[in-house]
């Protein structure tokens, strides 16, 4: 049998972008997906669908979705210029992001979005997220005013349909196990399909099969003790297979291997994500709360920034607390601003008409210490600064440890509510080193490994310590395209 030109491992966003971009160059493409059809699509399928790309005006957004003239004029669409995107990415990664990879990510992001639209994805204005009416005018303030229609699930569905239409064969329930490698170049993949070994010969292989977030043993090994106790927000299939396969043949590990994206997550959420209820466990309104632990103490500056710049690192802070849980506490003043999942199903919520009543209900929290913490916090709020959730309002609680930098409100208006959270891991930051122009995996001497490419969560060197919301899908898009066209170009040039 003829080898496949480009064999893509995985069927999430990065894999689909790689497969489609290779196919558009006229080569043969097949995909291996370890999950069943119903479970397929990886973390991409769980994604809320916000995407952070560079744009400077509404005209850039109009390349991606139809915005009527009046809506274009009457809305403050915010911006995410190339410079702003650089600033955010460098700031949240403490200036550790790889310069070549981040340049590719940022400068190719808008064209990538337009390409995605041409591949069948659709986008709509993101009115439900970080958007508010301020002085009679709709304003976006999260740098991502466009969202994928149908979220990540819609994106995966649309791209899968296009892949099938374009003649890309998708092998479900087929888990890649190792690379076929002759010591010089990669020649295919050994896999297991429904329990039986099977081999796929290929001219090039693109690994796009996620990080190791769903593997408790690797999490403990690389992220540290306690990480086996985190809940997994997304797929159970990303157990580090692709990373292991690449490292086994000498790929160069790269990036923040002890780093990860992990958030505050419903305390009693299931062990893995449930795609039909993927939004239920989100608890991203904590900048309006105080967060307290079992000892009744605060432990982070809940309002140090908008949630999209802190949520990915605060999950680790929750994991560090006694029992790996915390409570987000709100009063009635901010209740209307809470995201919809707070009033959904499967929510660990306690309510009290007084703080004393609430303190007595909070499972596993020292009630006296909790009341002391609230008293100290309330006294520290600088109420002379007006509250405004649409900007970093500087309304702080100062002189306490930790301080709260923005959106501080005394808890004084009943009923009071507390939401139980634990740590939910999204994905891991450690990966392999790739060439930023071809997507080719580099070996320990930084030489490209012939026939091997990688994309998506498997790419190391982009995220360190933290992550600006909406970048995962765009990273999969940009580096998926690069890897797919890099692999196809190698096949055609051979």
Ligand X SMILES: Cc1cc2nc3c(=O)[nH]c(=O)nc-3n(C[C@H](O)[C@H](O)[C@H](O)COP(=O)(O)OP(=O)(O)OC[C@H]3O[C@@H](n4cnc5c(N)ncnc54)[C@H](O)[C@@H]3O)c2cc1C
Q: Which residues bind ligand X (CB under 6 A)?
A: 9-15, 32-35, 40-44, 46-51, 152, 175-176, 208-210, 233-235, 237-238, 241, 273, 278, 426-427, 456-457, 470-473, 476
- Residue 11 · residue 170 · CB < 8 Å: yes
Task: For ligand X, give the closer residue by CB, 142 or 287.
Answer: 142
Residue 213 tokens read as: 């977030």
Residues composing the chain? 494
Task: For ligand X, give the closer residue by CB, 370 or 429.
Answer: 429
The Cα–Cα gap between 238 and 254 comes to 18
Q: Minimum distance between the CB of residue 439 and ligand X, rounded to whole angstroms?
A: 13
The Cα–Cα gap between 266 and 120 comes to 33
Q: Minimum distance between the CB of residue 34 and ligand X, rounded to whole angstroms?
A: 4
Q: Minimum distance between the CB of residue 272 and ligand X, rounded to whole angstroms?
A: 10
In 112-240, beta strands by DSSP E? 123-125, 131-134, 137-140, 146-148, 169-171, 174-181, 186-193, 196-207, 231-232
Task: For ligand X, give the closer residue by CB, 49 or 296.
Answer: 49
Task: For ligand X, give the closer residue by CB, 212 or 327.
Answer: 212
The Cα–Cα gap between 44 and 21 comes to 18
- SS3 of the chain: helix, strand, coil, percent, to 5: 35, 25, 45
Q: Minimum distance between the CB of residue 79 and ligand X, rounded to whole angstroms?
A: 19
Q: Is 405 left (phi over 0), alpha (psi -120 to 50) or beta?
A: alpha
Q: Minimum distance between the CB of residue 372 and ligand X, rounded to whole angstroms?
A: 35
Task: For ligand X, give the closer residue by CB, 193 or 333.
Answer: 193
Residues 6+ apart with CB under 8 A from 109: 52, 53, 54, 85, 474, 477, 478
Q: Minimum distance between the CB of residue 141 and ligand X, rounded to whole angstroms?
A: 17
Q: Minimum distance between the CB of residue 233 and ligand X, rounded to whole angstroms?
A: 4
Task: For ligand X, give the closer residue by CB, 326 or 483.
Answer: 483
Task: For ligand X, give the closer residue by CB, 6 or 329.
Answer: 6
Task: For ligand X, give the closer residue by CB, 303 or 476.
Answer: 476
Task: Compute CA 318 distance to the chain's CA centroid, rounded to the nearest angstrom.
Answer: 18
Beta pairing, strands 326-330 & 416-428: antiparallel
Task: Let me know if 73 is exposed, middle or buried by CB neighbors in 10 A (0-12, 13-18, 19+).
Answer: exposed
Alpha helices of 271-394 — where are they, by DSSP H?
307-319, 355-361, 367-380
Residues 6+ apart with CB under 8 A from 117: 63, 64, 65, 123
Q: Minimum distance between the CB of residue 309 and ligand X, rounded to whole angstroms?
A: 14
Residues 6+ apart with CB under 8 A from 52: 80, 85, 88, 109, 143, 144, 468, 469, 470, 471, 474
Task: For ligand X, give the closer residue by CB, 145 or 456.
Answer: 456
Q: Minimum distance between the CB of residue 45 and ligand X, rounded to whole angstroms?
A: 7
The DSSP symbol for 15 reads H
Task: For ligand X, give the closer residue by CB, 311 or 350.
Answer: 311
Q: Minimum distance between the CB of residue 8 and ligand X, rounded to whole angstroms?
A: 9
Q: How many CB atoms lie within 10 A of CB 60?
A: 19
Q: Minimum distance between the CB of residue 368 and ligand X, rounded to whole angstroms?
A: 37
Task: For ligand X, give the closer residue by CB, 52 or 435.
Answer: 52
């Amino acid at each position: 049998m003829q080898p496949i030109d480009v064999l893509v491992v995985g069927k999430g966003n990065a894999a689909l972008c790689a497969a489609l971009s290779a196919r558009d160059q006229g080569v043969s493409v097949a995909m291996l997906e370890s999950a069943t059809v119903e479970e397929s699509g990886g973390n991409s399928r769980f994604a809320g669908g916000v995407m952070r790309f560079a744009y400077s005006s509404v005209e850039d957004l109009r390349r991606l979705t139809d915005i009527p003239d009046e809506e274009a004029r009457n809305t403050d669409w915010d911006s995410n210029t190339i410079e702003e995107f650089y600033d955010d990415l460098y700031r949240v990664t403490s200036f550790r992001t790889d310069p070549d990879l981040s340049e590719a990510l940022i400068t190719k992001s808008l064209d990538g979005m337009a390409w995605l639209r041409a591949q069948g994805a659709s986008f709509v204005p993101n009115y439900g997220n970080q958007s508010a009416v301020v002085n009679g005018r709709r304003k976006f303030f999260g740098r991502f005013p466009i969202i994928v229609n149908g979220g990540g699930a819609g994106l995966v569905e649309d791209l899968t349909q296009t892949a099938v239409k374009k003649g890309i064969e998708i092998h479900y329930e087929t888990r890649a196990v190792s690379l076929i490698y002759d010591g010089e170049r990669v020649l295919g993949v050994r896999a297991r399909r429904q329990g039986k070994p099977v081999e796929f010969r290929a001219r090039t292989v693109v690994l796009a099969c996620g990080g190791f977030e769903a593997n408790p043993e690797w999490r403990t090994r690389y992220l540290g003790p306690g990480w086996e106790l985190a809940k997994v927000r997304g797929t159970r299939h990303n157990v580090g297979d692709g990373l292991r396969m690449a490292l086994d043949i000498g790929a160069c590990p790269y990036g923040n291997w002890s780093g990860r994206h992990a958030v505050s997550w419903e305390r009693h959420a299931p062990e893995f994500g449930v795609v039909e209820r993927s939004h239920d466990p989100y608890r991203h309104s904590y900048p309006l709360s105080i967060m307290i632990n079992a000892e009744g103490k605060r432990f982070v500056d809940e309002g140090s920034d908008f949630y999209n710049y802190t949520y990915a690192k605060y999950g680790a802070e929750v994991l560090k607390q006694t029992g790996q849980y915390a409570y987000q506490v709100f009063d009635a003043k901010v209740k209307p601003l809470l995201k919809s999942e707070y009033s959904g199903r499967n929510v660990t919520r306690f309510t009290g008409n007084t703080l004393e009543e609430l303190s007595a209900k909070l499972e596993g929290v020292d009630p006296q210490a909790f009341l002391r913490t609230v008293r100290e916090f309330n006294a520290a709020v600088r109420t002379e600064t007006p509250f405004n959730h649409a900007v970093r309002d500087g309304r702080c609680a100062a002189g306490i440890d930790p301080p709260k930098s923005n959106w501080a409100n005394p808890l004084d208006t009943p009923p009071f509510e507390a939401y139980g959270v634990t740590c939910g891991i999204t994905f891991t930051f450690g990966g392999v080193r790739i060439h930023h122009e071809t997507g080719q995996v580099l070996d320990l001497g930084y030489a490209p490994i012939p026939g091997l490419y990688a994309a998506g969560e498997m790419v190391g060197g982009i995220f360190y310590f933290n992550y600006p919301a909406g970048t995962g899908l765009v990273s999969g898009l940009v580096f998926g395209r690069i890897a797919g066209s890099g692999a196809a170009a190698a096949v055609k040039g051979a």
